[in-house]
Amino acid sequence: MKTTEVPSGPVAPGLVQMDERTLVSVRLSRSAGTPTSFRAVALAVLRDNHRVRLASSNTVGFGPDPGSAMEACLGRVKDTLSRRKRPPVRPTRRPEASL
């Protein structure tokens, strides 16, 4: 559900499907400093039906149009997710109980 149209108001939230298992909630708005540029921030990431915590300050993307701001933001999200450590895998068997 990736949209590249210009937001109708000052802020346009949306959902972007990055791949078959990752869904990103992104807020797109006009930049306060220069109104001719846009700012996109990832608010939340859902991966394999689990929420992944991200610092929104690390996922900000800027661009002269909504599409480039969105691509910059999603690129930073991909980098963050690829650097994230995987949780340790639990052993499948429990040790034998002893009395």
Q: How many domains does the chain have?
A: 1
How confident is the prediction for the chain on average, in pLDDT? 78
Instruction: Give the lowest-confidence range in 7-16, 60-69, 87-96.
Output: 7-16
Q: Is residue 23 scored above 70 in pLDDT? A: yes
Distance CA 25, CA 11 (A): 13
- 5 falls within a domain: no
The boundaries of the domain holding residue 30 are 11-83
Question: Is the overall model pTM greater than 0.85, yes or no?
Answer: no
Residue 54 near residue 77, CB atoms below 8 Å: yes
pLDDT level of residue 94 (50, 70, 90 thresholds): confident
Tokens linked to 17 = 């499907």
Q: What percent of the chain has pLDDT over 90?
A: 8
Query: Judging by beta carbons within 10 Å of its beta carbon (0-12, 13-18, 19+), is residue 44 exposed, middle or buried?
Result: middle
Distance CA 40, CA 48 (A): 23
Q: Is residue 2 scored above 70 in pLDDT? A: no
Give the pLDDT of residue 9: 46
- 99 falls within a domain: no
Angle at CA 87, nearest 5°, toward 23 and 80?
Answer: 45
pLDDT level of residue 5 (50, 70, 90 thresholds): very low
